[in-house]
Amino acid sequence: MSNRIREEFLQPKESVRLNKYLSEAGVCSRREADRLIESGKVTVDGERAQTGMRVLKGQVVKVGKKTVSRQDELVVLAVNKPKGIVCTADRRERDSIVRFLDYPVRVTYAGRLDKDSRGLLLMTNNGDIINQMMRAANRHEKEYKVTVDKEITEEFIKKMAGGVPILDTVTRPCKVKKIGKYTFSIILTQGLNRQIRRMCEELGYQVRDLVRVRIMNIRLGSLKEGTYRKLTDAELEELDRMLK
């Protein structure tokens, strides 16, 4: 892993700002961390934390009574989620992605896929990456291959691309391309609940299969269903650049 990636995502040798520490521990975003610190809910070595302070490795950071810590090793995985697996960290869910993956380091997903969908899912132990990817204002691209129950028309493609009224809003304009009689690709920059399925239903179509094939610069490629791989240094470098 390159030095620049280590410097950006991993624990520095000297110190790190407390809000970044809390974000990378998966507690909350940096902005929310500042509010937590200001409220007096965060302590470092038993003393009330101050906004802007830095934390050294080995110091004990608590939010309320709970001790939080960053991971020593950055883990970012590309996972090919099968249909039927649920994006939840709740291990009581028999078919949760966390139980299915059973990875030796605690990881969680950055952007979920619903139970009936399959394809690319990114999982990491770095809360800062998750917070940046999930921020809607950043408009990160996600690409899907979708199969529906009826022949796709030019009118359908035009309406899907232009914006569809669902969930008391209108979806953002997006890129849609017909790639088969019943299949199209779509690139979204937002993540409304079951968005593609709802868009199709609004236009009189039912989704038969939905596969996410890309998140930003990360592609599903030939990754077999139910398996995972670590991101390459080149992928992490580009992801870092795009998240900034």
Phi/psi-derived region of residue 183, left when phi > 0, alpha when psi is between -120 and 50, beta in every other case: beta
Whole-number Å distance between alpha carbons of 226 and 234: 24
Active site residue 114: yes
Enclosing H/E stretch for 169: strand 169-170
Whole-number Å distance between alpha carbons of 84 and 2: 36
**CB of 93 closer than 8 Å to CB of 101:** no
Among candidate residues 34, 90, 102, 114, the one labeled active-site is: 114
Tell me phi and psi for residue 185, to 5 degrees. Answer: -110, 150
Tokens of 51: 């906004």
**Active site residues per annotation:** 114
